Amino acid sequence: MNVAVVTFPGSNCDQDCHRSVELAGGEPRYVWHRQRSLGGAEAVIVPGGFAHGDYLRPGAIARFSPIMDAVVAFAREGGLVAGICNGFQVLCEAGLLPGALLRNRSLRFQSHDCRMRVERTGTAFTREYREGQVVRMPLSHADGNYYAGSGTLAELEGEGRVVFRYSDARGGVTPEANPNGSLNHIAGIVNRRGNVLGMMPHPDRAVEEALGSADGLPLFESLVRAGAGSREAACADAGATAGASAAAQAAR
Amino acid sequence: MSRFTVEVLVTPRPGLLDPQGKAVHSALASLGYEDVKDVRVGKAIYLEVAAASAAEATERVEEACRKLLANPVTEDYRVTAEGSR
């Protein structure tokens, strides 16, 4: 599973994502933002950081980096794309995910562990989690306050596209458990087809116990296995049915 | 071709929570400005644009607003082109 990790000037979690993919059994590769091709990647990660200094708005300038045309085309063809933290902001700006990330309600840069409830396990990014599982990982952002218009929000909820929701340790969605003011406690969403994920917390900083939590590793394992599954399906005629059901599942 | 100074005012959309505006509002209230009933914080962007007319400069910058300068999900913008020099 060949995973492209996009590096912008100002990215600072590209190495974390690279290592996370390795630990999950995939083959990561850095792709510099000025490149125009993903070079045959089977999945793409847009990592955290401060791409282009977050000038204007986080992600606003990064979405026009040369590599983004390839990332958008890859996503439109159904390729798996995960945006973490600043990567989530980039994917929203690029129009691959709905909504926007506003300044935190506290106006502060929040940097601490958070807990989230896994709301959807049927996606290519969350298969290795249990539904309702509470996971712990760090968050680190000034602009993580998820906002979408009421119509979009209703769609996200109605179509089960909220993948992670901020919660307390028991999975309770309480006001105190919402670190940034996100509407409906949204921490991560997928697009309608299910092949593009955006999330503010950092699974890439929680992939081994030495980091304080390994709760992020299943996300990368899900991604790597989903990619391997689709490749096998594409290689064999007999796999066509499996591929179709995987695609149907991804499209949910 | 003349040059126009084009001002772009980008403001949070009405109804959208504006944490910066809220913080400034409460700071003003604590200074005794109870008569200030609401505060919205946006940003101003100034561009020097070569164009044949103010209308053309405005049109170009409005296009730039839709593509880059404002986020249509969360922000409104107002474009004003000022005098040629």
- What whole-number distance in Å separates Cα of residue A125 and Cα of residue A123? 5
- Check if the beta carbon of residue A84 is closer than 8 Å to that of residue A17: yes
Strand-pair partners of A100? A147
C-beta atoms of A105 and B17 within 8 A: yes
Quick one: pLDDT at residue A232? 53
Using one digit for the tens of pLDDT, what is the confidence trace for B6-20? Answer: 999 999 998 888 888
Quick one: pLDDT at residue A230? 60
- Closest-CA residue of chain B to A93: B71
- Check if the beta carbon of residue A7 is closer than 8 Å to that of residue A32: yes
Instruction: Find the mean pLDDT for residues A81-90.
Output: 98
- Check if the beta carbon of residue A166 is closer than 8 Å to that of residue A182: yes
Predicted ipTM > 0.90:
no
DSSP three-state, residue A25: coil
Quick one: pLDDT at residue A108? 94
∠ CA A125-A44-A123, nearest 5°, is 15
pLDDT at A238 over 70: no
pLDDT at B36 over 60: yes
Instruction: Find the mean pLDDT for residues B7-36.
Output: 94
Q: Which residue has the tokens 């439109």?
A: A76
- Closest-CA residue of chain A to B69: A56
pTM: 0.90
pLDDT at A171 over 70: yes
Strands A27-32 and A162-166: unpaired
C-beta atoms of A102 and B16 within 8 A: yes
pLDDT at A242 over 60: no
pLDDT at A114 over 60: yes
Using one digit for the tens of pLDDT, what is the confidence trace for A1-37? Answer: 999 999 999 999 999 999 999 999 999 999 999 999 9
Confidence of residue A95 (pLDDT cuts 50, 70, 90): very high
- What whole-number distance in Å separates Cα of residue A218 and Cα of residue A128? 5
Using one digit for the tens of pLDDT, what is the confidence trace for A127-142? Answer: 999 999 999 999 999 9
C-alpha distances in angstroms, B45 versus A147, B19, B51? 24, 21, 18
C-beta atoms of A145 and B19 within 8 A: yes
Enter the tokens of residue A86: 């600043």
Instruction: Find the mean pLDDT for residues A212-220.
Output: 98
Strands A196-199 and A186-190: antiparallel
Among A60, A45, A42, CA closest to A14? A45
pLDDT at A243 over 50: no
B5: distance to nearest CA of chain A, Å?
A: 19
- What whole-number distance in Å separates Cα of residue A42 and Cα of residue B84? 52
- What whole-number distance in Å separates Cα of residue A128 and Cα of residue A221? 7
- Check if the beta carbon of residue A146 is closer than 8 Å to that of residue A156: no
Amino acid identity of residue A230, one-letter, is S
